[in-house]
Structure 1
Amino acid sequence: MSEVTVAPPQYRRFSSVRLGQAPTMTTQASPADLPPYSRRRRDTVSQMPRREPVAHTYQLVSGSKAWAVWKVVSSAKSSKSLPTFYEKETITGTLSLDVDRFESIQAIYVTVTGRIITGAGSSDSYTFLNTSVPIWSKAAAGSKLQGSSTWPFSVPLPKTVSIPTSSGGSKLCPLPETFMERGMMASIQYDLTLRIARGKLRADSTLTTPFGYVPNSKPESPSMLRQLAYEEGCPTIPGPDVDPEGWRILPTVPVTGTLFNSRQLEARCNIAIAKPLCYTRGSVIPCTLTMDSLDVQALDLLATSKAIVVNLRRTVRYYNSPSPLNKSDVLWRELSEDVGRAVWWPSVRGRGDDYIRYLEGEIQLAKDLKPSASIAHFSVSYSVVVCPFDSPGFISSITEPLHSEPVEIATMYARGPKPRSYAPPAYSRTTPRNEEFYATMCGFPATLQ
């Protein structure tokens, strides 16, 4: 069988919003008195950025002649990048053949596949998407191919796929984003394949290229008070005391331990994160914190950005069995990594009480975070984790996380004004990165407008 496969690009030591290297070919997102927002502004915020489409060209060569030229049109940054497609897009292109003699070609078709790959073996792959579209067939044409011919093709990408469940039924799952990271055995890979099928005694010819897929997921709109703050450019957003519907107040966590090896410390900490609990990558997770204690020195020591440890944690969960049915019979694997940490600064709403500290904060989200996903035996999930306080002179009596709150990461902004960062420059922090964990196959355009 004559087969040409377009290999993925080499992994990089950094993550970028630019697409990867060119593939090489081898042989094988209310109070009634608030002012309404204009329709025009909302639509502007929620639209996807549109690039001019680019064509990716692949060939089958015999001697010095390219007898098959396959062009695939995509939304990638350049023709030298891997093809990239967004939810609701259709894969289109053309195929040109130039044959000198009658060929025993029986059919030509294009296939789109999506797979969960959890190991190196052939059995460690589960296909959740398999769509084929015919380009030409001898039976329909009534004659053999000869000379030059050109056909267009079009393959629609579904938004969801049906996945079998352990109860014998099925459920619809949104297509997940392409996922490939160094050091991670599990991946989500999409491939586009051109197959030129011949008779039984002759091998088929194929061209295969991986491609990037980006889903359109967005949060619900934030509270009207927060939208008004964003719209008017207020110096801060309303806190839980003013806008209770816009915040999720986490359970009170105890802060206990030893201070300077000389006395016990007891304090209480209340943290709130903005609702809804779904956030667009490239934006922020707004937070507030209130800490009270009778030990003023302890408050001065712990109510600081460096001492407060609130992280965004990502967990990738999967197992090696290719069947999604027998989940109880396999060993689940999990890899968790902190992919963001909150920064904190004194709140402008703070009151003059020596025994209470008020802080505002936010977790800055990297533009290339993978969105939340769950399909068959693979999932990407996130949580905001409150960890023990960390400061010189303080030894916490608790070593485990104090609280974990599940959240979601989306690719698009919610309808309404965009969220903004309020962190003062002196408090901004680059999102911590683990290069091994974040070396991706290609950096997709991070946030859909």
Structure 2
Amino acid sequence: MASPPSYPLGSVAASQLDVSQTLPDYARTVSSEWDVPAADQLHHFHLARKTGERWLTLTMTSRAATAEATPLFFQGGNVTGSLKLHLEKEELVDEISIDLYGRLTIFSHSTSNFLRMAQNTYSAADKPPESLEPSLTTAKRGRLKGRYDWPYSFRLPKGVSILSSITPDGESERKSYRLPPSFRDEQSNVDVQYSLVVRVNRGGFRKANKLVVPFDYVPLARPSPPTILRQLAYQQDAEIVGPEGDPEGWKSFDPIKIEGVLFKKVPVKALCRLSVARPLTYTRGTPIHLMMCISSDNEQLLDLLTPQSIYLVVVQRTTFGDDNRPLFSRRLSAQITVKSQIRATAKWWKFSSSNPAPSTRAFAGELLVPADLPPACQILHYGHEYEFAFTSLSAVGFTPTAPSKNAFLTEPINIVTAFSQGARPRSYIPPEYNIS
């Protein structure tokens, strides 16, 4: 089978790229290594009495867009702020603590903590703290009056190590996980949430006061840079070079043979060759470039093919349960449930190559990765990952000989949150095809 035509240009010369131009150097400094917002947004959260008087205030500095938005932190960030207490009258306070939690909730009723960090702000057993209003300070142990201000700080780890099993010899085994992103998947009924929890314990049988402050967490990872030709195309706002002219920039799969019947009487077959842009790691919110070449001895079948004939999607595969190792009890076997969801669908358009192969139709395509797609993760008994799936080829009057529930081709991909350094991927969809 002939090599696929370009996207849409096969040769470097035809692409009009200025290959003599050098790419800029990218300084790997703390400020430019990750393109994240500044940590300059101050949030306030309160506990108030029935009269509306605010007696406890938690401040938090984050990278959120506004003070009203949910606080936002990225990998390796510091969750910092202060806890302010304002007590006009002397009150019994046994302990004040601030805890940071990471929690996995499945089906709204099964909640597991995978992260807990604690900071004991005040204890009645310790020396009484000094009030910001010395004239109101009480000397009685366990009782507070006046204004107090305690700083707090938690550095988010990149990962956690969790007890996973007990060996027959009684030794514990631990499993390491990368800290998962915050997300809520309503279709799977899964929620990964981070929060700060402030507790004011009054001692005895008195009910404790609690302030829960959710925040969002984003892990950081980026693709490796694309080929020099791809980078130059982005930088110069030029057409990218296709698989024929830039083979290192694409992964081309073996041809897929699809057989069927045209108009219920003519046996036909087609060979489909898919090429996808490398590397197979993509930043959410960016386009994935695609190529599909379809060859057949039946010209009528080829003429019936349209951009809507090709169905290629990004599938999220979600697993509930543990891996194949018995956990805690050697008598228990792992229970695994797999659920698949389509997260994005490719758009295609026809184009003509400068050197068209005989009996072949070529389509260029793009698949936009949703900007809110959570990157792959595995934590405790939950995990999800992504893959391409070429599931069907359709045309008017064409019936596949052996329809199958399985995709013709699948390929694992990785979704990340940060851009590779340099020019960012751009879309090449013709306006008339860019219709939702």
* 257 and 164 in structure 1: CA distance in 2 versus 1, 3 angstrom threshold: farther
Give the Cα separation in 1 of the matches to 2:310 and 2:250.
19
**1:79 equivalent in structure 2:** 67
| TM-score of the two chains, using structure 2 as the length reference | 0.82
Q: Which runs of 5+ in 1 are unaligned?
A: 1-31, 431-449
1:336 aligns with 2:340: yes
1:309 aligns with 2:295: no
Give the Cα separation in 2 of the matches to 1:375 and 1:88.
18
1:221-370 equivalences under 5 Å are 221-235=225-239, 237-302=240-305, 304-319=306-321, 325=327, 329-347=333-351, 349-370=353-374
* 53 and 271 in structure 1: CA distance in 2 versus 1, 3 angstrom threshold: same
Deviates more, 1:380-389 or 1:68-77: 68-77
- SS for the counterpart of 1:245 is helix
1:59 aligns with 2:63: no
Task: Give how far 1:51 is off.
Answer: 6.7
Give the Cα separation in 2 of the matches to 1:381 and 1:363.
17
**1:434 equivalent in structure 2:** none
Deviations 1:29-63 (A, max 9, x none): xxx97723233699869521337403132214255
1:36 aligns with 2:39: no
1:395 aligns with 2:373: no
Give the Cα separation in 1 of the matches to 2:108 and 2:368.
35
- Percent pairwise identity: 29
Matched pairs, number? 394
* 429 and 221 in structure 1: CA distance in 2 versus 1, 3 angstrom threshold: farther
**1:154 equivalent in structure 2:** 153
Is the Cα–Cα contact under 8 Å of residues 388 and 413 in structure 2 kept in the other structure? yes
Deviates more, 1:373-382 or 1:79-88: 79-88
Give the Cα separation in 2 of the matches to 1:359 and 1:419.
19
Deviations 1:186-220 (A, max 9, x none): 22122210012333443322111222222222111
Is the Cα–Cα contact under 8 Å of residues 51 and 77 in structure 1 kept in the other structure? no
Is the Cα–Cα contact under 8 Å of residues 39 and 61 in structure 2 kept in the other structure? no
* 350 and 381 in structure 1: CA distance in 2 versus 1, 3 angstrom threshold: farther
Give the Cα separation in 2 of the matches to 1:64 and 1:289.
64
Deviations 1:378-417 (A, max 9, x none): 1121111011212221112233310111111111111121
Which residue of the other structure, out of 409, 414, 418, is the alignment partner of 1:408? 414
1:119 aligns with 2:107: yes
Q: Match for 2:246: what amino acid?
A: D
- SS for the counterpart of 2:232 is helix
Give the Cα separation in 2 of the matches to 1:311 and 1:70.
44
Task: Give how far 1:102 is off.
Answer: 4.0
* 312 and 120 in structure 1: CA distance in 2 versus 1, 3 angstrom threshold: closer
Give the Cα separation in 1 of the matches to 2:407 and 2:22.
42
* 396 and 34 in structure 1: CA distance in 2 versus 1, 3 angstrom threshold: farther
Task: Give how far 1:348 is off.
Answer: 5.3
**1:96 equivalent in structure 2:** 84
| TM-score of the two chains, using structure 1 as the length reference | 0.80
* 269 and 320 in structure 1: CA distance in 2 versus 1, 3 angstrom threshold: closer
Give the Cα separation in 2 of the matches to 1:252 and 1:306.
20
Which residue of the other structure, out of 414, 417, 423, is the alignment partner of 1:417? 423
Q: Match for 2:147: what amino acid?
A: S
Is the Cα–Cα contact under 8 Å of residues 163 and 171 in structure 1 kept in the other structure? yes
Task: Give how far 1:223 is off.
Answer: 1.7
Give the Cα separation in 1 of the matches to 2:400 and 2:196.
53
- SS for the counterpart of 1:370 is coil
Q: Match for 2:160: what amino acid?
A: V
Give the Cα separation in 2 of the matches to 1:69 and 1:388.
57
Give the Cα separation in 1 of the matches to 2:379 and 2:321.
12
Which residue of the other structure, out of 132, 141, 145, is the alignment partner of 2:127? 141
Give the Cα separation in 2 of the matches to 1:408 and 1:299.
33
Q: State the structure with bigger RCO (CA 8 A, min sep 6), 1 or 2.
A: 1
Q: Match for 2:274: what amino acid?
A: I
**1:205 equivalent in structure 2:** 209
Give the Cα separation in 2 of the matches to 1:372 and 1:146.
49
Give the Cα separation in 2 of the matches to 1:391 and 1:222.
34
Is the Cα–Cα contact under 8 Å of residues 255 and 388 in structure 1 kept in the other structure? no
* 182 and 324 in structure 1: CA distance in 2 versus 1, 3 angstrom threshold: farther
Deviates more, 1:275-284 or 1:389-398: 389-398
Give the Cα separation in 2 of the matches to 1:164 and 1:388.
44
Deviations 1:146-201 (A, max 9, x none): 22212222222212111344585334322111121334322212221001233344
Give the Cα separation in 2 of the matches to 1:238 and 1:404.
24
Task: Give how far 1:275 is off.
Answer: 1.4
Give the Cα separation in 2 of the matches to 1:297 and 1:351.
21
Q: Which runs of 5+ in 2 are unaligned?
A: 1-18, 129-140
Give the Cα separation in 1 of the matches to 2:107 and 2:69.
26
Is the Cα–Cα contact under 8 Å of residues 246 and 276 in structure 1 kept in the other structure? yes
**1:131 equivalent in structure 2:** 117
* 347 and 297 in structure 1: CA distance in 2 versus 1, 3 angstrom threshold: same
Deviates more, 1:76-85 or 1:252-261: 76-85
Deviates more, 1:244-253 or 1:274-283: 244-253
**2:138 equivalent in structure 1:** none
